[in-house]
Amino acid sequence: MSDKNHQEIMTYLAGKVSAADFNAPMDALGGEGDYRDPKTHFFSDMLGNMANGRHRTELPDKFTGSYGTECQVIAQSRDSHTFTVAFASYSDTGLVSLLHQPSLIPDSPPGQPWASVTQGYVGAVVVHVR
């Protein structure tokens, strides 16, 4: 939850929570923040793959590609100047994510070699606002 996309979401939410003096309506503090991986990273991603992530793009970022994120602030505290945000992020990762070439090699169907893997991550983060 420390990647650039999640950090931008938390910065946006921090502005809304602090502007409302930690008493913002909960229904105004959630939403979606999908990340779309630019397909122009092909050579950077391939170099990262050959170098085991030591150069250019690290392996997890290269292979995961785009992902969806949903978030919701679940608690606010004026006393400690904090809020807690729950995240759910999900991704379908397959050959298209790996190679960035959907027209060249499509993803394999479920149960087949090289089939897509559906990944989901959930968590909660306490954000301190200064």
The average pLDDT across 112-121 equals 80
Q: Which of 104, 125, 130 is nearest to 2 (CA)?
A: 125
- The amino acid present at 82, given as its one-letter code, is T
The average pLDDT across 97-121 equals 75
| More confident call, 128 vs 101 | 128
pLDDT digits (tens, 9 = 90+) for 13-27: 999 999 999 999 998
> pLDDT value at position 21?
95
- The amino acid present at 50, given as its one-letter code, is M
> pLDDT value at position 73?
95
pLDDT digits (tens, 9 = 90+) for 28-84: 898 887 666 665 566 666 666 666 556 555 545 545 567 788 899 999 999 999 999
What's the token pair of residue 66?
């785009």
**Whole-structure pTM value:** 0.67
The average pLDDT across 109-129 equals 85
